[in-house]
Chain A
Amino acid sequence: MPDRTADGDLRNVARRDGGGFRRGGGGVSDARDGVPEEEADGEDVTPDGGGHASTAPSTHTVRLELADEPGQLLAALHPIADNGGNLLSIYHERGNKTPRGRIPVEVDFEATPERFEGIVEALRTEGVNVMQAGTERYAEEVTILLFGHLIDTDLSDSLSRIEACESASVADVSLAAPQGTEESSSARLRLEARAGETEAALAAVRELADEKKLRLVEPLTGVEA
């Protein structure tokens, strides 16, 4: 992703993982990023690694949304442990709130593919809101352009509004305001949408653009191979 400042008039803002839910540079995230890779390598050492892989335990990340009440975290961890998940790390982002005002929590655990499905199902049965499970959430990527009075109409509010749409998350923003903040400016947004929900995400952006009198340039989706 070109998070570069190509021209003097370009200001790039990089956002990851749904804007507010940035993975802090804490030890938890380091551990998570490092350990699974080693373990995955270990699996491949087995002589017939290929056929073995489908039933081997692998690391999964689920992102949960919890009410800010005592006992919620523990209640959310039970379905994981009870269904054969081996907990690796928990990242409890108390400082952040999801668009619905809840606390985002990332949980890493090891499980076989079958058990992983059972765990997600158990979480949902228990009433825990699973925002992301494995790679399920952001299966589609879509790039759009917005132009007009982006800054006067509160760009950060615009981005939050897109985030609030359950179909998509803003992965990356590049802004160009060659005539200063008073004049018309342009932004390129990379959205990550849930599988099959790109159209819903675009509809939400269209509505926002309409309301703020911004112009939207949509991609021609599903056309170019």
Chain B
Amino acid sequence: MRLAVVGAGAVGRSVVDLASEYGHEVVAVADSSSAVVADGKGDRDAGVDPDAVVARKTERGIVGDDDPADALAADYDALVEATPTTLGDAEPGFSHVRTALERDRHAVLANKGPVAERFGDLRSLLNDSDGEIRFEATVGGAIPAVSTVEDIEPGHVTAVRGVLNGTANFILTRMAAEGLDYDHVLAEAQDLGVAEADPSFDVDGTDAALKCVILANVLSFGAADDPADAREFTLDDADVSGIRDVPGSALRLAAEDGRTVRLIGEATGETVRVAPRLVPENGTLAVSGTQNIVQIETTHAGRLNISGRGAGGPETASAVLGDVGRLE
């Protein structure tokens, strides 16, 4: 497939880098201010040169000398939307996806905003388009959460829960293991690059909640006979509390009793909830460090657990490229 990659952060760059390994060709790359569109000339195939894109982004802060709009207008089969997640109107990601669908092209999202905040609007666009959307990379990084739910069929999935934020999980794991307080461990996580300078999105549960909202939309729309009857979820529908104020003493009390605390997200077709929860210390959901786990409750297939890396450039890119493969 011919891909246009919008967003040149860790995920976008990894998609550009790995696409050829999966048999795809990148014909355009854009970041917020620049773009490079393959002209089909020269001794290479029609695609852009991944190494040159990464080099320009690193050295000059741009991906090429073209305009971002040129990338959206390029001759691609699928648009990869990998710009940073934004809330509310989910722009500019939503418009990028709309442009692709209006051109009857596919869109593959790594950006959570459009699927979490405007799922209904996306469904409307899909009704008038020959294109499809896929968004495996928005939930649990490398973990095939969305496609597993789709394979089981949303009507046969009663709930999806799990640890969906590696930063929060790293902090809780270290607090419990070292008997340290939140602030201390957060500073350590920031030094290691596990937490961002402003960690709010992760530690306040927003990121995990967006993932659960996306899963709730998949469950709700997937189980409804008529999509018009399906309930649409946004972040506002989620009951969210984070880990910022969990004291070290609470983790010690939990450990004394063979338990620990994890930031657990839960989604059904009716509710979305993210909160620190007590779980058995050696239980399935008590994954360590930055690991994620997705647990799927089914009506006929029991409980499924999939754990793995929930973030990272190549990991998330593998989910993006898996989606591209499903569109072929």
Task: Bin chain B's interface residue count.
Answer: 20 to 34
Contact, CB under 8 Å: A217 / B278: yes
Chain B residues in the interface with A (C-beta under 8 A): 161, 241, 245-250, 252-254, 256-257, 259, 261, 264, 275-280, 283-285, 295
> Which B residues lie within 8 Å of A143 (CB)?
257, 259, 278
In the assembled complex, how far is the CB of residue B257 from the closest CB belonging to chain A, in whole angstroms? 6
In the assembled complex, how far is the CB of residue A167 from the closest CB belonging to chain B, in whole angstroms? 19
Q: Is A171 an interface residue (CB 8 A)?
A: no
Q: In the assembly, what is the distance between CA of A176 and CA of B264, in Å? A: 24
What would 22 A/B residue contacts be, using CB atoms closer than 8 Å?
Answer: A2-B256, A7-B252, A143-B259, A145-B261, A147-B247, A176-B250, A176-B253, A184-B245, A186-B249, A186-B250, A187-B253, A188-B253, A190-B257, A215-B245, A217-B246, A217-B261, A217-B277, A218-B275, A218-B277, A219-B277, A223-B279, A224-B279
Chain A contributes a number of interface residues (CB within 8 A of B) equal to 27
Chain A residues in the interface with B (C-beta under 8 A): 2, 6-7, 9-10, 143-145, 147-148, 174, 176-178, 184-188, 190, 215, 217-220, 223-224
Count A-B contacts at CB 8 Å.
Answer: 83
Which residue from chain B places its CB closest to the CB of A178 in the assembled complex? B249
Taking A217-B277, A220-B285, A224-B279 as given, write out 6 further A-B residue pairs in contact, using a Cβ cutoff of 8 Å, ordered by the A residue number: A143-B259, A177-B249, A217-B246, A219-B279, A223-B161, A223-B279
> Which A residues lie within 8 Å of B285 (CB)?
220, 223-224
Contact, CB under 8 Å: B246 / A220: no
Q: In the assembly, what is the distance between CA of A148 and CA of B249, in Å? A: 11
Which residue from chain B places its CB closest to the CB of A176 in the assembled complex? B249
Given contacts A2-B256, A6-B256, A223-B161, contact A147 B278 (CB under 8 A): no
> Which A residues lie within 8 Å of B284 (CB)?
224
Q: In the assembly, what is the distance between CA of A68 and CA of B270, in Å? A: 48
Contact, CB under 8 Å: B253 / A174: yes
> Which B residues lie within 8 Å of A9 (CB)?
249
Q: In the assembly, what is the distance between CA of A192 and CA of B304, in Å? A: 30
Contact, CB under 8 Å: A144 / B252: no
Q: In the assembly, what is the distance between CA of A10 and CA of B261, in Å? A: 19
